Structure 1
Amino acid sequence: MKWKLTVQYLFSVLSIVFIVIFVNLIILIGVLYFQQTNGNDSLSTDTGESFTRQFSRYLSTENEQPLITDEGIQALREFGGWLQVLDSNGHVVTAALAPKDAPTHYSPVELVHIYKYMDDQLTTYYVGQFEEYSYLLGVQNSTEQRVVFMFNAQSFLSYVSKAFVGITIADLLIAMLVGLLFSMIITKPVSYIIDRISQLKERNFSIQKMKRQGVFKPVFSNLNSVSETLQAHEEERMKLEKMREEWISNVSHDLKTPLASIRGFAELLRGQDVMESERAEYAEIIERKSIYMKDLLDDFNLTMRLRNQEMPLHREDTRPASFVREIVIDVLNDPRYSDHAISFEGNAHNAIWSIDRHLMKRAILNFIHNAIIHNDRDIAITISVSDTGLTIEDDGKGIAKQDIEQIFNRYYRGSNTDNIHGTGLGLAISKDIIEAHGGHITLTSDIGKGTKVEIFLN
């Protein structure tokens, strides 16, 4: 591709050079033709030839002798020249403003010589005709010089043709060399641009930098911007694909057990010898498993959306002291937990949290319920609010060190949580909610001394 672009560019350059040479040749021929056909008319009246041809109007004859009028003498002074009138034998019959040492007779050879080559005083001579007389006009140190050369049409045409061919070849070679250098400079980034577009087509979105970008710098910048955008879209697509596969895999795995229970008890219900009391028990188990499946799906959807930042937060400015106090009151009003020792301390009267109240309430309740259901009934739970966050502390069983590192993993149950019901996603959801708000959690615990959870919100 690179060499193809180079050849195309080089061909374009050579074509332009050839066209320019041809056009210049046509213009040159036209100018020469115009000068040849209109040269006399184009000459200014200030030139020596023109002045000399027109000077005959200042000449007249009297008694068969030529005379120069006063206007002619004045014109000679203004022009800076002098004049001699010659008869047919070359004798000077009259003169005006001529130097004292000017010849009084000119032979034909002398006339030809001074007309072609000037004299020793660097005088330029012009010749005119008046009746049977001729006149010689001289201008010393003239700005005009006469160049005489021999011209052979055949040789000239041969020379011109050879010169044209030589100049054309030389110009084309120079243009080819320069065009090749420039084409290599220009076609390299163009070829790179084409390759980059092909890479994008093949879903290669890596960012690449090229040296000597030149005039193509905005193009490369835009290509890298496109690559970054496409890379972001590709990562988003892969993330969604991974999330979808993970969701399907986990849901499929986690639903097998309750589905198997539902199926088994449903088959028992169809039996003829099932007692009425057993039938009610089986129906209750099926209902409980169905509720578990619904809770599992809801919790799993929530944690997946939170971890993939797909869950929009409806933030509200909230005073943490009153907000957490209401949560503690709700827990104590629950008949299952009304006899537990739960205390509240609010030391953040001026603090304001920007939170999603619904999600944050669920996160805090998960920690409180976790402290309740994983300990004995006689433990004490202290919940305190400060300007920087929230602390939930109990004096219960504590958590083993090997369990602390995995306590926030999905479905993980510690060594002291036997026969505890739930989906296994509570603490994972709480952690995801806190992090979605830009906060973080620290958990410390000692066996036999209790557990302390600290929630920090920015």
Structure 2
Amino acid sequence: MNNLPKLIRRFTGILLLSFVLLVFANFAILAFLMAWQSPSVTDSPYNVAIQTGKAFQISESGYTLQEDISTQLKKQNIWAFVVDNDTLQIVWKTENVPDTIPANYSLSDIADLSVGYLDGYPTYTGETENGIVVLGYPKDSFWKHTRASWNYNFFAHLPQIVFIVLAVNIAVILLIYVIANMKFLKPVKPITKGIQDLSIGEPVHIPEKGLLSDISANINRTSNILQEQRQQLRKKETARANWIAGVSHDIRTPLSMVMGYAGQLKDDTNLTDEERHKAEVIVKQSKRMQNLINDLNLASKLEYNMQPINPAKQNLIAIVRQVVVDFINMDIEDKYPIEWQTDEVLTVCPVNADKDLLKRAVSNLIQNSINHNEQGCKIYIGVTVDDDCCTIIVSDDGVGATDELIEKLNKTPHYMLCDENTTEQRHGLGLLIVKQIVSAHGGRTDIEHSSYGGFSVKLTLPILA
């Protein structure tokens, strides 16, 4: 793909841009939180302490605090007192000064409370005439470190703040990804749909533009190649079907003449027994050729959907029983006796099927047992119903088939793929026609060993609701 380096450069640039934007975003969030949590300049504890010190008035009765500053302190639940410079004793205090606050202070005590805490209360100092004023804030209001003051709620809600920052980072990453890759992701949808259509043989044309234009062009070329191959294959299949139909038609006339003359010779009393036997063999093999031609023609029509199927509601048991009766009547020598193994209670099994094609399928199975057991065999035929399905079972106690042959018959996908051994009789075309007929009716064919030691085929069709 020629655009691969371009894609790599694009994604690398997006990654670098994401890092830069995230750094700026985090700085902006940090600045906002600091501005939101930190008090304003006028509300700073240090400024409040300085303003309070300046708001004192000294008279003969002692220190007096201006009313507006006193109201502000009460509103914020701040207590205050004044320590005299000379005696280092409290000479004035508010009413809400805790009882645990001492009345006398040393220089070291003043130093400690000016930068830290007094009995757990964050304290701030301001200068007043002949002394210092000490303001005590509620215990959970500020966290002090040197001269820095932080809102206590910031640290109390630090886990939530970290979570919010992470969530914002993730949102920013997703936003950058979506915006930056919108043009890249836009052609992905038609490409995906094109691949899906390509898998089912539909013609595909995808606009060849954007970063994925090479992929779109390759898919379009592949679609054109597949469509051309499909047309060529359709022409070949049509030609093959027409050729088979034409050959079948052309062979029927001379074959009928051969069978007719051979039949006359077989019945001619002027010929010797050996000559009549040869004529009988010609009739028999000609009949077999005729059946093979009919099978080949039918298989070709079923393969290319040229055989009309006229489904209607049918009683499958009646169809199978009729075929069995026909074969019993033809077996004059009783060389191939048929045993009916259907439960007497089961008299009706409705299916949606073409009666003639189903009769052909069952006839092929019975004839298959006859063709491959010249010494004779017993044939077992039954119909069962289970799980909304009707199953026809045709078995025999003849020579059967090898495991390899049965596996091959079950997996053979096409009537042209038969047993390559032409020197022996084959379970081939007749069974494949059966599979095609059953498949055309939405059913399933299972070829296996018979419980009687021979060959067995099961035809399963859905019951008509």
Q: Settle same-fold status: TM greater than 0.5.
A: no
TM-score normalised over the length of structure 1: 0.40
TM-score normalised over the length of structure 2: 0.39
- The structure that has the greater radius of gyration is 1
